[in-house]
Structure 1
Amino acid sequence: MQKELKGAGVKIAILDSGIKSDHPSFVTKPYKGVFLEYNENTGEVEICKDCTDKIGHGTAVYGIINRIVPGAKITVFKIFTDELELDSDTFTLFLEHVSKYDNFDIINLSLGTTLCENVAELNRLCEEISDRGTMIVSAFDNGGAVSFPAALESVIGVDSSLDFKTIRAYQYVENGIVDIVGKGTFQRVAWNDPDYIISQGNSFTCAYITALIAEAIYSGVKGSVQIKQWLKKNATVINSDEAPKNDRTKYEDLKIEKAVLFPFNKEIHALVRYHNMLDFAIEGVYDVTKSSRVGAHVSKFLHKEKTDKEFVIQDIKNLDLSSFDTMILGHTDELQTLIGEPNFTQNLIQHLVDNGKKIYAFDEHPNISNNIFYNRVDRSDVPLNQFGKLYQNTKPVLGVVGTSSRQGKFTLQLYLRQKFLEDGYGVGGLGTEPSSMLFGMEGTFPCGYNTSVHIYNEDIILYLNKLMWDISQKDNDIVIVGSQASVLTYATSNINTYPLVHQQYLQATAPDAIIICVNPFDEISFVVDCIKATEALSKGKVIAGVCFPMKLKEHWSGSFGSKEPITKEEASLFKQKYEKDLGIPFYTLGVNEQMESLYQDCISFFCE
């Protein structure tokens, strides 16, 4: 009686480049070979006869699995012809067809895409396949990027490492997008021409893991939960790292309806200027009497700009608790110094909490109440066990950068956001001001004044990359990002002048089109350097510049940093000079017709 071959009865599907069915190394021939083609005219998947591998990749994958579980009933689906490239929509159609072709135990995908434009649809399909009892095993991108479907929760995502040199040595990973890290060394694999080559890659590691899972199923292990337990039990290394606990109040939990603002400093101005973009009502604006702002209209401090809802700034001592449910509490460290009360903010917060009020705070105020939200980025927010893999965003990104602080970059960001929204576009947003989420932006990276960012270096890239990916997966047509301060430093005298975090922000958000904000007093050579640095860091294109309409105030004894508005004539001269020297259009912030032209430049860039 013939001995049963290992893997007998286990049904495996391989989606790849086909197979060289008469390869001398195969212990058994494939059960079946199927060539799938997409008919563009009908939009249907068609089955063709010729499953011959013209590349060699599918032959290698089949050879690995066949060697370990020669009794497995393997069906090879040819989905690549001359090169290993396929758009994500067509791949999804092929995978759906395969899932209905037979009741497979395992689908091996030694492939993946980094630019996946239909993640939600692919995820839904993979979950349906998994729910029907089929394990999907997929390789991660060899270049180190996050790829799909390997990164999906319902898929066993396989990576490789040179640390593992045998087929049964692997790391089992919990709490991350990667599930298995296996053999990554060079090896001899079957090929189409020549018959063998020496190669390495996640594709082959994926095939090994598929074969091991087939062994488990053959031995009686059934169901995805039990198979994962089996993989963990037999792992060489188990990675059970967990992210630090994060029990901070989430913004969506505040549910703001009526708010008051305090104090009326620079960071609060945008809330009044663009109050029509908020999804709650502003019921009052407050400050302390020593600020010299109480009793004045808010427009006095908005460069004389009138708003369609004028507020008179009130004394915080006369706070009407019945008029609001939430206080937007701005930065107060300088205020406390001004009034000489170091515990003022703490006492105010306690008074609000005792009266059942909620607080959206620009500064960190931990361990006081669940009714307080504040922006903070720390290790608990960094994706865990990602092994350096980065998401590749497919949505267009528009960025706003500058040559210094206090240039109206956030104002410009809000203006552009409002224009896109008014024209019916879906707009995602990532801001660096603590008020960003109040305007509907999905994320905040508060790296400006009183920064509450507590991560560094590669963690910044990982965090922002994941945040940008999450934003891109919403129903957005464009994502707008804005930075703080300058891209470069004027001086090299102190490490604190180096905008390292802002440079990392620019690299991680990677805007395609960038608007650079400048000052009338900037040296052209410095602006040129900032443009070059911006384009080098982001890999994007600076398409326009915006001049902040304030110049240094000259006095008979010199300039001491105070500013005054530029005249229309000066603005026109600056515009002409910048456009001539830099070769890109320049506009003046706040001039309506020029801002409209800037917006049209953005539309034109992304429509090319």
Structure 2
Amino acid sequence: MEKIKIAIVDSGIDLKHPKFKNLEENVVCWNILNQTKSAEDQDLGNGKGHGTGIFSIIYDHLHDNLQDFTFYIVKIFDELGHTSEDYLIKAIEYCIDNKVHIINLSLGIEKKSPSKELHDVCERAYKQGIIIIASASDNAVATYPAYFPFVFGVTGGIISLKKDYGIIENSPIQFIGKGNLQRVADYNSNYAFVAGNSQATAHITGIVSSIKRGNIDWSFHKIEKHLFENGKKDIRVFTNRFMQYVDPKGWIGYRIKPSNEEKIKILEKFFSFKHRFSWMKKIAIYPVSNKEMKAFFYFADLCPFEIVEVYDFPRFGARDKNIEINDTNLEINWDLNENSFNDVDTLVIGHPYDTAIELNTKFADKIINKCVEKKMNFFVFDKLLYLELKNKLKDYPATIYYPNDFTTLMDLTKLLNFDSITIPSLSVVGVTPQSGKFTTQLTIKKVLEKEGYSIGWLSTEPQGELFGADLCLPIGGEINSLTLGSWPYFLSSMISGIEKYKKPDIFLTGHQSGLVQQYKQHFQIDTLNSINFLASAQPDAVVCAINPAYAADQLERVVIILKNLFQLPILFFTLSKRSISPQKMNSESIHLKNEMLDENEWKRLADEISNKYGLPVIDPLDESQNHIIVERITNFFKAND
């Protein structure tokens, strides 16, 4: 009887695992990268292998008849756990040359349209009678080779028995395998609990291999017909919501990544600040009284661009006539003249229509029209204004930039590798809105850079990149579309990219407020986003920024969450001297009460917090306290090195 040849294209195998006794004569190993017979499985960055677990599932389906099978273990992952489409194509070519019957691909490439090379090699395998069984993405997006019509595409479902499977009619993904949590063999003679489409694919391979054993002459379409006639239609497909119960690294790391040359270009495109903002040198700011612009009053020296002109609302704008920026006294303008923007290439524009005052609205239109006339660049905080400008100025010759470009960030994370973050990481957590968290981030960045440290920074504020942030992440809005299981991959890919390109000494990220519900009767989606963000950023420690108005009731709840849910140490607190809180007016409208604490009141509150939690409390704008920042951060990371 001719043996059935099954190829598992993956990260290798641990043949010394006690589960696979006396199996060597049934196994052929080949390493595509170095063209040797060494195909040992490895840690792919999450303490687990992958190929060993996939093989162990197939093994469980066939162990009573192992003498009828030969297994080809084809390794395509390098020592860092990375691979490429080129290696996948070469692996399939190897399988064709060795006349295998079945190829298991518990991996895939997420893209809207596949390359011609991948299409052609899979079609060639199909025409030679080889059945390719490939995994769909856990993110429910188009994945190749699984989406090819001459490949069995597989997703995961909730299934009790390994021999059971589901069918999906009129879909590029035809089959549902057992994808729920299951125990498999792992590399280094271990076992692991895993879940996902990779495991479901291995189960379908085991089922198909059993069919092929008794019917070696059955074609792709005859086996497909048999599977559809005997499969179940009531299997529940699990979604990413299931992934919150398992280690997300167990399913995220096995997408096909670009080659090293492509990777370098991607890293430069996204993480070279000079490359990304080569179009922007001399800027004008408007409106300077927007809260997002306040940082220019204190941290203009962190801005890598020359600030030339400053504008504000003509009504209810800044009270001051001048602003001092980098030891230069700049006039705040409330109107335009013939010399306006003569020495400026970019308008940094915040939220010019927030006041709903006609005079201010007309002035905003006037400024925008003037900049368009001069063909200037726009750096826009407001998504609606950005879309308006993009739609209105179809063939505009200059740049219209929006820092919270969620689509671009998603494209980035699909290309980058998911790797463990190795540098020290610190998050600034805002206890409530208006807590001074962005000011705290800028202070930490400025103080540590002055001490000679290189800082990697992921900002959650639209103005972050104007002060040297490496990337801006849009918390709220579009990012709400992320499923729970996607957060760790999305965020860790960006942090990993910054680490690889910039090689900083410490990583800093902001964190939007909302870690606890402010109002019991109103559910806030921000709370879920805040929890997801902090869990996915995986900081080693946090700094809490406090708005004095909420120090009494909100702070304790946040501290409990940080310690008990995240097990994160707090290094120190920053306490703003500005107290901002919503006040209900007689008309039932809400007004923000904004007042400054005097020195005595601030010190009383700071001492109260410090005594309660045994931690320093500082004013982030008081330079005399900068040494506390340096000592607390450096001592913590030295102690935990």
1:394 aligns with 2:431: no
* Aligned residue runs from structure 1 range 109-188, under 5 A: 160-162=156-158, 182-184=177-179
Determine which of 270, 287, 290 is the counterpart of 1:263.
Answer: 287
1:414–1:30 Cα change, 3 Å: same
Q: For structure 1, which segment, 348-357 or 484-493, has the greater mean C-alpha deviation from structure 2 after superposition?
A: 484-493
- From 342, 354, 376, the counterpart of 1:322: 342
Which residue matches 2:586? none
Q: Distance in 1 between matches of 2:185 and 2:592?
A: 74
Summarize the Cα distance change of 1:283–1:219 in structure 2 as closer, same or farther, 3 Å threshold: farther
Q: CA deviation at 1:264?
A: 0.9
Residues 1:437 and 1:174: Cα distance change in structure 2 (over 3 Å): farther
Distance 2:60 2:485 in 1: 39
1:566 to 584, 590, 598: 598
TM-fit CA distance, 1:15:
0.5
Q: 1:385 to 1:315 in 2, by over 3 A?
A: closer
Deviation at 1:473, TM superposition (A): 2.8
**Partner SS for 1:4:** coil
Pair 1:30-2:15 in alignment = no
**Equivalent residues in 2 for 1:428-507 (5 A)?**
428-447=456-475, 453-456=477-480, 459=483, 462=486, 466-474=490-498, 475=500, 476-477=503-504, 478-485=506-513, 487-492=515-520, 501-507=529-535
C-alpha deviation, 1:407, in angstroms? 3.0
Residues in 2 aligned to 1:185 and 1:463: alpha-carbon distance in whole angstroms: 20
**433 and 209 in structure 1: CA distance in 2 versus 1, 3 angstrom threshold:** same
Does the residue aligned with 2:545 lie in a helix, a strand or coil? strand
The answer on whether the counterparts of 2:514 and 2:526 sit within 8 Å (CA) in structure 1 is: no
Supply the distance in 1 between the matched residues of 2:627 and 2:58 (Cα, whole angstroms): 56
2:455 pairs with 1:403: no
- Distance in 1 (CA, whole Å) between partners of 2:79 and 2:596 is 56
Question: Which residue identity does 1:161 align to in structure 2?
Answer: G
C-alpha distance 205-500 of structure 1, shift in aligned 2 (>3 A): closer
Q: Partner letter of residue 280 of structure 1?
A: F
> For residue 628 of structure 2, what is the aligned residue in structure 1?
597
1:422–1:159 Cα change, 3 Å: farther
Quick check: 2:426–2:507 contact (8 Å CA) kept in 1? Answer: yes
**Partner letter of residue 632 of structure 2?**
D
1:373 match: 401
Would the alpha carbon gap of residues 291 and 583 (structure 1) be closer, same or farther in structure 2, given more than 3 Å must change? same
- CA 1:159–1:89: 2 relative to 1, 3 Å: farther
Q: In structure 2, how many angstroms separate the alpha carbons of the residues matched to 1:186 and 1:267?
A: 45
Range 470-479 or range 487-496, more displaced: 487-496
Which residue of 2 is the match for residue 586 of structure 1?
617
Question: Following the alignment from structure 2 to structure 1, what is the Cα–Cα distance between the partners of residues 540 and 514?
Answer: 18
What is the rounded CA distance, in whole Å, between the counterparts of 1:172 and 1:471 in structure 2?
A: 40
- Quote how far apart the aligned CAs of 1:434 are: 1.4
Amino acid at match of 1:566: D
Q: How many residues align?
A: 501
Are the equivalent residues in 2 in contact too, given 1:111–1:138 (CA < 8 A)?
Answer: yes
Q: Distance in 1 between matches of 2:13 and 2:362?
A: 66
Partner of 1:517: 545
For residues 301-356 of structure 1, give each alpha carbon's deviation from its aligned partner in whole angstroms, at most 9, with x where no partner exists.
Answer: xxxxx84343222334136232111100011124451x535454344323322321
2-structure distance, mates of 1:208, 1:276: 59
TM-score, L = length of structure 1: 0.62
Q: CA 1:65–1:545 in 2, change beyond 3 Å: closer, same or farther?
A: same
**Structure 2: stretches of 5+ with no match in the other structure:** 32-37, 41-51, 108-117, 126-130, 146-151, 187-193, 238-269, 582-590
What residue is the counterpart of 1:348 in the other structure? Answer: 367
Q: For each residue in 1:93-144, what CA deviation from the matched residue of structure 2 results, as whole angstroms up to 9, or x when unmatched?
A: 9xx9xx99x96679999999xxxxxxxxxxxxxx9xx99x9x9999999xx9
Match of 2:308 in 1: 283
Shift in Å at residue 393 of structure 1?
A: 5.3
Q: TM-score, normalised by structure 2?
A: 0.59
- 1:542 deviates by 2.1
Pair 1:333-2:365 in alignment: no
Letter paired with 1:355: K
Is contact 1:587-1:594 (8 Å) kept? yes
- CA distance in structure 1 between the aligned counterparts of 2:362 and 2:67, rounded to whole angstroms: 75
1:463-506 per-residue CA deviation (whole Å, 9 max, x = no partner) reads 57503422323324443222344544554465579856545544
- Please tell me whether the aligned partners of residues 393 and 469 of structure 1 are also in contact (alpha carbons under 8 angstroms): no
Question: Which residue of structure 2 lines up, in the alignment, with residue 116 of structure 1?
Answer: none
Q: 2 CA distance for matches of 1:345 and 1:181?
A: 55
2:329 counterpart SS class? coil
SS in 1 for 2:612: helix
Question: How far does the alpha carbon of each residue in 1:427-458 deviate from its partner, in whole angstroms, 9 at most, with x for none?
Answer: 333323211233333443455xxx7x145375
Structure 1: give runs of 5+ residues left out of the alignment: 37-44, 48-54, 79-86, 113-126, 192-198, 222-226, 240-249, 300-305, 554-558
SS in 2 for 1:328: strand
Amino acid at match of 2:157: S
**Alpha-carbon distance between aligned partners in 2 of 1:172 and 1:69, rounded to the nearest angstrom:** 32
Q: Distance in 1 between matches of 2:433 and 2:573?
A: 15
Alpha carbons 2:58, 2:206 under 8 Å: kept: no
For 1:160, the aligned partner's letter is G
Question: Does 1:418 find its partner at 2:446?
Answer: yes
Helix, strand or coil for the counterpart of 1:533? helix
Residue 331 of structure 2 corresponds to residue 312 of structure 1: yes
Find the counterpart in structure 1 of residue 577 from structure 2. Answer: 549
Partners of 2:134 and 2:293 in 1: CA distance? 49
The answer on whether the counterparts of 1:64 and 1:207 sit within 8 Å (CA) in structure 2 is no
Q: Summarize the Cα distance change of 1:597–1:315 in structure 2 as closer, same or farther, 3 Å threshold.
A: same
**Amino acid paired to 2:342:** S
Q: Report what 1:118 is aligned to.
A: none
Distance in 1 separating the partners of 2:204 and 2:413: 19
* 1:605/1:200 CA distance change after superposition, 3 Å: closer
8 A Cα contact 2:543 2:572, kept in partner: yes
| 1:196 matched residue in structure 2 | none
Contact 2:432 2:514 in 1 (8 A): yes
Structure 2 counterpart SS, 1:16:
coil
1-side partners of 2:169 and 2:409: how far apart?
23
Match of 2:242 in 1: none
Q: 1:312 to 1:596 in 2, by over 3 A?
A: farther
Instruction: Please state which structure has a larger fraction of its residues in helix.
Output: 2
Secondary structure in structure 1 of the residue aligned to 2:25: coil
RMSD: 6.0
Is contact 1:544-1:585 (8 Å) kept? yes
Judged with a 3 Å threshold, the aligned counterparts in structure 2 of structure 1 residues 384 and 268 are, in CA distance, closer, same or farther, namely closer
Q: Percent identity?
A: 19
SS at match of 1:360: strand
What is the CA–CA distance in structure 2 between the aligned matches of 1:423 and 1:219, rounded to whole Å? 72
Q: 1:205 to 1:588 in 2, by over 3 A?
A: same
Q: CA deviation at 1:21?
A: 9.6
Residue type of the alignment partner of 1:356: K
